[in-house]
A = this chain, B = another copy of it.
Amino acid sequence: MQVRAEARSVSLHWEDGQRNRFHYVWLRDNCRCDQCRHWQVGDRLLDSTQVPLDIRPQRVELKAPSLLEIAWPPDGHVSQFDVGWLLAHRPGQAVTVGQGLRRTTWDGAFADRIPELTHERVTSNDSELLGWLRVLHEYGVSLIRHVPCRLGEVGRVAETIGCIRSSHYGTIFDVESKPKPNALAYTAHGLLPHTDLPYRELQPRLQLLHCLLFEAQGGDSQLVDGFHAAERLREAHSASFDLLASTAVTFRQLEEGADLSIEAPMIGLDDDGRVDEIRFSNAKLQPFDVPEDQVISLYQAYFQFAELLRDPAHIIRLRLEPGDLLVFDNSRVLHGRTAYDPQSGARHLQGCYVDSDDLLSRIRVLERAAPPLSPDSSKLSTL
């Protein structure tokens, strides 16, 4: 490697012929020493704004094949940079946190391959936990069997991932038929496939549902991969896809103690145009508020998307048994249920939510002690 100090930056010429410029202000700002960063916390202690935009080093030196040392004015402060760290942080080409994770969409045929694990396995060690979380991230669904039928157990499983996201339904909510329901879930009604809390600014990502008691007739669960359905919509009716991805609709929760609402599109895209979030709830959707000449096309797009989401070829049906804990990506996988007869027996689930960034954080922390993800390592067969 060759090092060349220039007016405002140092150029590194790598073995492969590539060249990168690291500006002095950037280098001084990102000094890794204990004076500039807190040795325990890792936070920057250096006040970046004290670095002159046009700072020029007193000395630039390759101390060893992989160690660049720079001395700075006014006091000769020394920064040492590992060359590998510089390579990973090349401006405009940095390695993004969390690369390597992927998503794989599915349809109804996935019913036979829905990732199943035992509670004992998931809670036995960090390696099993990591395997489970990678699969959960990739497919957006998994089923844990033989979870002890104790109240609050769902929260203990959630906390192996991250902190529980509270809502006006509480930290852990009880899904059962209630005398004064504030949600259809708390009745015996059937529920069309939907996402939970679409009316929150941040729709919770992971939902955990633990079946404690289920003697009632009916009440079968349905799951559908909203990302898969959205991609089918994009293929079949691209104008409808674009409309749903660009039109903000209102979801609202209105009850005695709450009035939560948000305007957001039903299909959320990331910066690269990939489907990243679904908000879908026929129950919570407010009257469309679009110009008169768009009303029919918005309904048409909505109905086309709904038809794909309810296509039997896309849906997984299952009946939860006591001890089953269903975990799914609530911003991707819609869930529903058939109506049940509360006179025929009890049905009691407990649930809670965990945010997306907590899931990614746990995966990264567990990966520190684990081999990186190989192309095959998230295969279902490894479960």
Residues of chain A touching chain B, judged by Cβ–Cβ distance below 8 Å, are 8-9, 20-21, 23, 25-26, 29-30, 38, 40-45, 47-49, 53, 89, 91-94, 96-98, 162-168, 170, 180-184, 187, 189, 192, 199-202, 250, 252, 254-255, 257-263, 282-285, 287-292, 294-296, 299-300, 302-303, 306-307, 310, 355-358, 360-361, 364-365
Contact of A91 among B30, B187, B192, B291 (CB under 8 A): B291
A–B Cβ pairs within 8 angstroms, 8 of them? A43-B183, A49-B306, A89-B287, A164-B166, A168-B358, A201-B355, A258-B365, A260-B360
Chain B residues positioned under 8 Å from A306 (CB to CB): 48-49
Residue pair B168, A166 in contact (C-beta under 8 Å)? no
CA distance A272 to B78 in the complex (A): 46
Contact of A255 among B42, B282, B285, B291 (CB under 8 A): B42
Which of A49, A257, A299 has most B Cβ within 10 Å? A49
Residue pair A356, B163 in contact (C-beta under 8 Å)? no
Residue pair B43, A284 in contact (C-beta under 8 Å)? yes
CA distance A162 to B364 in the complex (A): 31
| A188: min CB distance to chain B, Å | 12
Residue pair A303, B92 in contact (C-beta under 8 Å)? no
Given contacts A166-B164, A184-B41, A288-B26, contact A259 B364 (CB under 8 A): yes
Contact of A41 among B26, B92, B255, B360 (CB under 8 A): B255
Given contacts A43-B184, A53-B296, A307-B49, contact A261 B97 (CB under 8 A): yes
Identical chains in the assembly: 2
Contact of A47 among B192, B257, B262, B291 (CB under 8 A): B192
Residue pair B92, A299 in contact (C-beta under 8 Å)? no
Q: Residue on B with the closest CB to A248?
A: B271
Chain B residues positioned under 8 Å from A364 (CB to CB): 259
CA distance A252 to B165 in the complex (A): 20
Given contacts A45-B189, A163-B168, A296-B23, contact A91 B283 (CB under 8 A): no
Q: Residue on B with the closest CB to A192?
A: B47
CA distance A89 to B295 in the complex (A): 13
Given contacts A261-B97, A306-B49, contact A25 B166 (CB under 8 A): no
Residue pair B361, A260 in contact (C-beta under 8 Å)? yes
CA distance A247 to B200 in the complex (A): 26
Residue pair B282, A26 in contact (C-beta under 8 Å)? no
Residue pair A361, B41 in contact (C-beta under 8 Å)? no
Which of A21, A41, A49, A288 has most B Cβ within 10 Å? A41
| A106: min CB distance to chain B, Å | 23
CA distance A291 to B255 in the complex (A): 50
Contact of A166 among B48, B165, B258, B296 (CB under 8 A): B165
